[in-house]
């Protein structure tokens, strides 16, 4: 949180681990070599990968509350660390809730719960992961930017 609102920083990957976008605050850097869909409104943002899986969902609810969903993977060969260029938490910042991702594994956060597993996502996992995550936005036509799906 900043005085101007929510700032999200993330490296967004698809379930194959390919980077589809990098987010730093309000700036997006898109990887043109990987297909994805992006939708947002004044309080939420969502990134869908090429398998129609919502890999990142963030919604600002109140000044003290955000809702997060998606697929979170540990970087291959990385145990912990900080992505270069991402802002660090400074003393006096509000408490953070850590997201635990198994080393070399992944965690799915959805409205139905949390699922974690060691190991990389396999092609046969895509269907069950997609079933856990419901898109927040309407993707029925390309011009439906900012329109939420009925939930």
Do the domain assignments include residue 104?
yes
Per-residue pLDDT of the chain (151 residues; tens, 9 = 90+): 556 666 667 777 888 888 887 877 667 777 767 667 888 888 888 888 888 999 988 888 887 778 888 998 876 544 444 445 444 444 444 444 456 677 778 889 888 888 888 888 899 999 999 999 999 999 888 777 889 998 6
Residue 28 burial class via C-beta count within 10 angstroms: exposed 0-12, middle 13-18, buried 19 and up: middle
- 47 occurs within a structural domain: yes
- Look at the chain and report how many structural domains it folds into: 1
What value, to the nearest 5°, has the Cα angle with vertex 100 and ends 13 and 85? Answer: 50
Query: Is the residue at 143 inside a domain?
Result: no
Structural domain includes residue 151: no
Question: Looking at the domain assignment, is residue 42 inside a domain?
Answer: yes
Whether residue 48 lies inside any domain: the answer is yes
Q: Specify if 119 maps to a domain.
A: yes
Classify residue 103 by burial, with Cβ atoms within 10 Å: 0-12, 13-18, 19+.
Answer: exposed
Which residues form the domain of 34? 8-132
Structural domain includes residue 140: no
- Strand order through the sheet with 27-30: 8-13, 19-25, 27-30
């Amino acid at each position: 949180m900043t005085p101007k609102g929510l700032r999200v920083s993330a490296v967004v990957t698809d379930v194959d681990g390919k980077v589809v976008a990098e987010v730093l605050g309000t700036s997006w850097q898109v990887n043109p070599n990987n297909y994805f869909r992006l939708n947002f409104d004044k309080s939420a943002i969502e990134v869908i990968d090429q398998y129609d899986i919502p890999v990142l969902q963030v919604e600002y609810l109140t000044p003290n509350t955000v809702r997060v969903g998606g697929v979170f993977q540990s970087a291959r060969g990385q145990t912990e660390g900080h992505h270069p260029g991402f802002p660090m938490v400074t003393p006096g910042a509000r408490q953070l809730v850590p997201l635990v991702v198994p080393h070399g594994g992944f965690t799915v956060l959805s409205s139905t719960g949390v699922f974690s597993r060691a190991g990389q996502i396999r092609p046969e996992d895509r269907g069950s992961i997609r079933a856990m995550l419901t898109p927040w936005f309407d993707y029925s036509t390309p011009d439906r930017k900012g329109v939420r799906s009925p939930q």
